[in-house]
Structures are given as structure tokens and as C-alpha cells.
Amino acid sequence: MKTILKPLSYIGLALTVVPAFLVFYGVLSLADHKLLMLAGMLLWFVTAPFWILEKKVD
């Protein structure tokens, strides 16, 4: 389970920060960047607690 969740969490983080650089380089609009950030946030908070908190318990 953790092997699936962890990469998804990192994709969430990537969706949070990478679109901003695409806006900076003129590849993406600000509106799309906001939508992708929202998707990244949801992906992070849906997946990360499972493996981060599991690690803390260990």
C-alpha cells in the first residue's frame, strides 16, 4: 500500500510547485496553475497521512 501511496504523495507535491514554474516560463496560465495546485493539495492530504503517520508510529 505504502509503495503506491508514497509516489502519489510526491506527485501531489509536484503538482503544487511545478505549475508555478510553467507559468513563469509562459507555458501555463495562472488559472490552470491554481487548479493544478488544488489537485496537488488534495492528492497530498489524501495519501500522505497514511505513510507519514505510519512512519511516526514505527
Applying CB under 8 A, which residues contact other proteins?
A: 12-13, 16-17, 19-21, 23-24, 26, 30, 33-35, 37-38, 40-41, 44-45, 48-49, 52-53, 56
C-alpha cell at 13: 507535491
In the complex, what is the shortest distance from the CB of residue 1 to other proteins, in angstroms, rounded to a whole number?
17
C-alpha cell at 45: 492530504
Pick 4 or 35: Cβ nearer other proteins: 35
**Residues whose CB falls within 8 Å of the CB of residue 30, separated by 6 or more in sequence, listed in order:** 23
In the complex, what is the shortest distance from the CB of residue 3 to other proteins, in angstroms, rounded to a whole number?
18
Alpha carbon 28 to its chain centroid, in Å, reads 17
